[in-house]
Amino acid sequence: MNGFKAVIDTNIIFMSLYNPEGKAGKIIKYAAENKLILFATDSVKQELSTILKRELSHNDSEVKLIIDSLPITWIEKEIYQPALEKTKVKHKPDKPTEALSLILNCGILSADTDFNNIKNKIDVNKLLDELKQVT
């Protein structure tokens, strides 16, 4: 492992499932190859579960299988809660993702424009270029 780590947001995960050959899909692939360590909050896990049921009509067991197969370490609220008051993102549902990135001292992978003014948002194209060079 080369030390790349990031907190991933729901939209990147969903895009990777919808289009595994796209940029988001490549991020998940690199994580599965241990070239990147991905973390996400329990709230992202819950949101992803809701979206998979609503948008793709998956049942509970299918949702569990999909989520369990992702190369993501899921982090409970007790871990990131102390950093919630330090977040700068305006959209309340995004605060846990930013808080976790502060706790873990790593960047955020998100397609959400609410993170555009957050200094630790990762440029996906730059990350993919760096990961492509890792053998």
- Average pLDDT on 56-82 reads 96
Residue 108: beta bridge partners?
Answer: 7, 121
pLDDT of 103 higher than 50: yes
Between CA 51 and CA 48 the distance in angstroms is 5
Instruction: Give residue 47's region: left, alpha or beta (phi > 0; psi -120 to 50).
Output: alpha
Task: Please check whether residue 58 is in contact with residue 24, taking contact to mean a CB–CB distance below 8 angstroms.
Answer: no
Domain spans in the chain, listed from the N-terminal domain onward: 5-132
pLDDT of 135 higher than 80: no
Q: Full-prediction pTM beyond 0.85?
A: yes
Q: Which carries the bigger pLDDT value, residue 81 or residue 131?
A: 81
| Nearest CA-CA partner of 40 in 58, 14, 59 | 14
Beta strands in 19-106 (DSSP E): 37-41, 72-75
What pLDDT, in 10s, does the model give residues 3-17? 699 999 999 999 999
- The domain 5-132 having CATH identifier 3.40.50.1010: the answer here is yes
